[in-house]
Amino acid sequence: MRPSGRNLSQMRPISIETGVMAHAEGSCLIRVGNTHVLCTASLEETAPRFLKGTGLGWVTAEYGMLPRATNTRNRREAATGKQSGRTQEIQRLIGRSLRAGIDRSALGERQITIDCDVIQADGGTRCASITGGWVALRLAVNKLLKAGAITSDPVMDHVAAVSCGIYAGQPLLDLDYAEDSEAGTDGNFVLTGAGRLIEVQMSAEGATFSRDQMGQLLDLAEGGMAELVAAQKAAVV
């Protein structure tokens, strides 16, 4: 039995509320169980300097966690004067993942920045950020299309992510914090709506895993993706 009482292949409840920020070109509040992330998309009509003259656009991301998103208060990173290595790694993952679903030529020489702010954390914050970040990105692109600023849709496919792991010897889908903190193997799977892999992050946390177990976790992730993509589609209708 999982600590949460869920079945091995059961996702936490998913909800995505859009239009939660008045000034952002795209925004949503994604809830995956007790993990809540505010995602916004901000459009700039110029691309980064390294893309000047290439005709290519750029999607990047920033990630942060509110001090009381967790059980104990975390000091704001701004107060320390630098981001942690974990924060930098996560925001790079979000940016890479979302760029994989974008035709940068169709976007043109402009940049969209996705901000992911964790309001409440209970495991899977990077996965929720990617899933909600895609919704914010989709809404921002919709505004560009409606305004006639671009004529071809640069969003090629859905992008979402889910965590899976081996807990008490069993493969589990969508780990919450209690499961993630005790998992022998932990993995994050980023996929497209068509089931193409963008990135897989897997590591042994005190116990090695087999190729067969890795395949079992991927199978679980693919099942979870169907629910995540369905929630994305419902949010951007």
pLDDT, residue 18, reads 98
Concatenating the DSSP letter of every residue in 45-102 gives SS--GGGTTT---EEEEEEEE-TTSSSSPPPPHHHHTS--HHHHHHHHHHHHHHHTTB
pLDDT, residue 85, reads 93
Establish if 48 belongs to a structural domain.
Answer: yes
Distance in angstroms (rounded) separating the CA atoms of residues 70 and 119: 9
pLDDT, residue 206, reads 75
pLDDT, residue 87, reads 94
124 is in an annotated binding site: yes
Establish if 4 belongs to a structural domain.
Answer: no
Establish if 9 belongs to a structural domain.
Answer: no
Distance in angstroms (rounded) separating the CA atoms of residues 144 and 45: 11
pLDDT, residue 207, reads 78
208's tokens: 């090695």
Residues 160, 165, 171: CA angle, nearest 5 degrees: 110
How many domains in the chain? 1
57's tokens: 């656009």
Q: Name the stretches of the chain with pLDDT < 70.
A: none
Establish if 161 belongs to a structural domain.
Answer: yes
Output b/e per residue, 30-41; b: 16+ Cβ within 10 A. Answer: bbbbebbbbbbb
Q: Tell me the pLDDT tens digit for each residue of 72-92.
A: 999 999 889 999 999 999 999
pLDDT, residue 4, reads 87
Strand partners, 37: 30, 118
12 is in an annotated binding site: no
126 is in an annotated binding site: yes
Helices and strands, counts by H and E, the chain: 6, 9
Backbone angles phi, psi at 30, to 5 degrees: -100, 135
**Which residue from 21, 19, 38 is spatially nearest to 29, judged by alpha carbons?**
38
pLDDT, residue 205, reads 82
110 is in an annotated binding site: no
Domain range enclosing 102: 14-236
CATH number at residue 79: 3.30.230.70
Establish if 185 belongs to a structural domain.
Answer: yes
Establish if 147 belongs to a structural domain.
Answer: yes
